[in-house]
Chain A
Amino acid sequence: MIIRKLTIKNFGKINNKTFELTDGINVLYGENESGKTTIHTFLKSMLYGISRQRGRAARNDVYTAYEPWENPGQYGGILWFESCGENFRLTRNFSRSRPYQELLSETTGAIADAENGSLERILGDVSEVIYDNTVSVGQLKSVTGQDLVRELQNYMAGYQGSIDSSMNLQKASQMLKMSRKGFQGTAQRRRKEIEAERNKVSAKMEYLEKEIDDLLDRQEAAEENDLQGRDGRRSETVLAEHLEEIRERIRRVRIIFTVLPLLCVLGAVFLHSQAVVLTGLLFLGVVLFLIGLLRLRSLERERRKKRRLLEKWVNRQKKIRWDRGNLEKNLEEKGTDYENLRAEYQEYEKLLHTPVPEDQEVQALTLALETIEELSGRITGEVGLSLQRRTSQILSEITGGKYTQVLMDQNLHMTVNTEERSVSLERLSRGTLEQIYFALRMAAGELFCTREPFPVILDDVFGMYDEERLTGVLQWLHKENRQIIISTCNRREMEILEREDIPYQSLLL
């Protein structure tokens, strides 16, 4: 594409001005604030229209910034250009009240609406963003060396990964990963909470299991007791027999030891024998009586003991029977409790494996990351190497072979090679960095506008160039034989062009 002529009817602060351009080097010269940027914006707006921002953002968007104060109904102009051998005239009015766009092919005489795709077809593969990245070259913004290096590396990385030097893929993926981490954290916290609840239930279950085991043990013991109980019943009858026997013996002792002393006393009374015999008999009676009493006492003691034993037995049997009933009920209740807890446990388990809303966000973020990586990888595969190769070539040409190669590694770190060694960007002068930047932009322009070469607009890019470097670049531009628009507030460019005898056209603002 070659821009032939532009007529600015009313755009920003410029009105009714016409500029004719050559297809070689054009130098747009003017003081600061003289309207150079307005011309660049005009060119871009003619080719791509001005997309309006919505809402509050519209207050200081491009449209508003360049809307003329006077006569706002007339907002635009005419652009003549050539594309693939065909001449066109593009007329636009951006005004709100009378928007108008017309594309005339001066070659065929066909008229079309510029908005319906006909202009896009002519612009081909150069979309608005590609235009920003290739046609229009601004100066590096950074001041200090470190920032400059970073900026340059970002440009190159942006080109390689996305054909858009303004992109910062590392930052973008960082942002996505941060969001993803946030959602993952939330989901994890939530699962942890559920896990904690589940563990509480399982602790309860464990406790209950122990209780049930305990009850089962007791039940078993009770059953054993029952077996013993059968023996016990036998011993119960034995005990009862004993008791009966003791009772019998008591009765006998009572009789014997009542009758014998009595006989002694009676004998003593009725026999009237000697005093010695008398006393002996009485004494015997008393002794027998006392023996009887003692015997009776010990027997009573034994009887009481046996009776206590028997009572104990009976009571124990009663208790065992009552206990067993209770145990069974208790076991049943605990069993139900356990079953309920198990159901609850399963619910928690299910909940743990149910997707949470955050999972979807994580999936979406992962998909975004992967898709960006894949598409960007494809771009790098297609253009990365040729971009480095062409940038190296241009750099070598404008530096007279001093630097032969520009390289970017996987970590997006750039180095340049001279004939002898490799130098990292940090160690290069600002001037050299500017040259690399220039080479990069030129290479991008060639690579990304594949259908036909586009003009290159160099907006104040040579400010930091010394005499020698500027001469090299201008000579290279001349050799390239492309349409170049250099906009500058310096006379240096024109002076060098004159001195080097390079043809150019000056446009004064």
Chain B
Amino acid sequence: MRFIHLADVHLGAVPDKGWPWSSKRGEEIWETFRRVIAYIRENPVDLLFIAGDLFHRQPLLRELKEVNYLFTTIPDTRIYMIAGNHDYIRREGGYRGFAWAENVTFFMEEKVTCVKDPLLPVYVYGFSFHHREIRQELLQGLAPMEGEGLHILLAHGGDLEHVPMNIPALSASGFDYLALGHIHKPELMIKSGAGYSGSPEPLDRSETGQHGFIEGWLENERLRVRLVPFACRSYEQIVVTLNEESTQGSVEDMVAREIIRKGKENIYQIHLRGERAPELLLLPERFKSLGNVLLVEDATRPLYDLELLQKQYWGTLVGDYIDYFSGRALTPVEEKALYYGLQALLETSR
């Protein structure tokens, strides 16, 4: 028995709105879903679980048809799916009334129901969202039914607004695997026999790291799972620590090398740290031409010895200025202001 656990595909989402690569990302989300299906076609699995938020919003008929067609191309795989908080089931339209292919089981109810797989001794449990939020602990006290075989629960949510759940308790109640959705960063909880598969493609800049799906199989009567990286891009962070010798060019070169090393296709957030020569005025905008750069955070400080400067310039404006910002905890804006002002005053003086 082999299965694939997928969740939070968010078909229709367009990440990084307003950035040049944004619309491409929208297409890539679809493309990666198609690749998953193609992957299943080549390495057939018995079961495919989709733990909610397959769609970013209410699915349109043509989108459902598209997905349904893809499901018909893997007829040997039984598909079990639920709706999450994004593609929740509304009174009209969307999922309601759609005729799925024969190999698809959609858990339509907002309470847990169970379906036995027609071919394998596997019991699949699931429920769908009918609302944007469910604050109720829907799964409290839930336990699998009697029956020889594997008991697998599909559930979406896990935070306060979306079906709060106690994962260890659920798994202790007898489920062999909890196929979870809602959290976009993949997370395997081996001890609990549970996993958030995460989104196959990362959807915003906080979703760094690898993305893909979870593959599971039985090995000597024991269920094993692993994460399969599948995303075509990732969000990466580059931290550059500057020193006194750094120049705009040297930092750009360093960033460019890192981008090439980690992959030109990835989307970058650049963090500049350390101390720079006081006369160096960094131009963060220039980094954006080096690749898909989403953000440049400049936390460098000009290399000023504040204590010494304060002593040397005591009684003059610079002294007053340092004085104004010392002896208290500074907010990030204040700290930046201190260095901006100091740099301007000192660099323009004779």
Residues of A within 8 A of B (CB): 48, 51, 54-56, 120, 125-130, 133, 154, 158, 161-164, 166-169, 171-176, 179, 182, 186, 190, 193-194, 197, 329, 332-333, 335-337, 339-340, 343-344, 347-348, 351, 357, 360-361, 363-365, 367-369, 371-372, 375-376, 378-379, 448
Contacts and interface: CB of A to CB of B under 8 A. Distances in A.
B42 interface: no
Contacts of A332: 92-93
B57 A333 contact: no
A174 B345 CA distance: 10
Given A167-B349, A193-B18, A179 B311 contact: no
B315 interface: yes
Interface stretch (B192-200, B260-268, B316-324): B316-324
A315 B307 CA distance: 95
**Which of A120, A173, A371 lies at the interface centre, i.e. has the most chain B CB atoms within 10 A of its CB?**
A371
A379 B320 contact: yes
Contact of A197 (B17, B94, B296, B312): B17
B164 interface: no
Contact of B333 (A174, A176, A367, A379): A367
**Which of A56, A179, A340, A360 lies at the interface centre, i.e. has the most chain B CB atoms within 10 A of its CB?**
A340
Interface string B323-334: 011000000111
Interface string B265-304: 0000000000000000101010000000001111000010
B303 A186 contact: no
B337 A368 contact: yes
B318 A167 contact: yes
Given A351-B17, A368-B344, A339 B314 contact: no
A376 B311 contact: no
B93 A375 contact: no
B18 A375 contact: no
Contacts of A51: 305, 308, 312
Contact of A162 (B281, B283, B298, B316): B316
Nearest to A185: B285
A427 B84 CA distance: 82
A367 B341 CA distance: 9
A125 B313 CA distance: 10
B318 A129 contact: yes
Contacts of A194: 17-18
5 contacts: A172-B341, A197-B18, A329-B61, A368-B341, A375-B320
Contact of B332 (A176, A197, A360, A379): A360
Contacts of B311: 120, 127-128
A55 B279 CA distance: 14
Given A336-B59, A344-B14, 8 more contacts: A128-B313, A162-B318, A171-B348, A172-B345, A176-B344, A340-B12, A368-B340, A375-B320
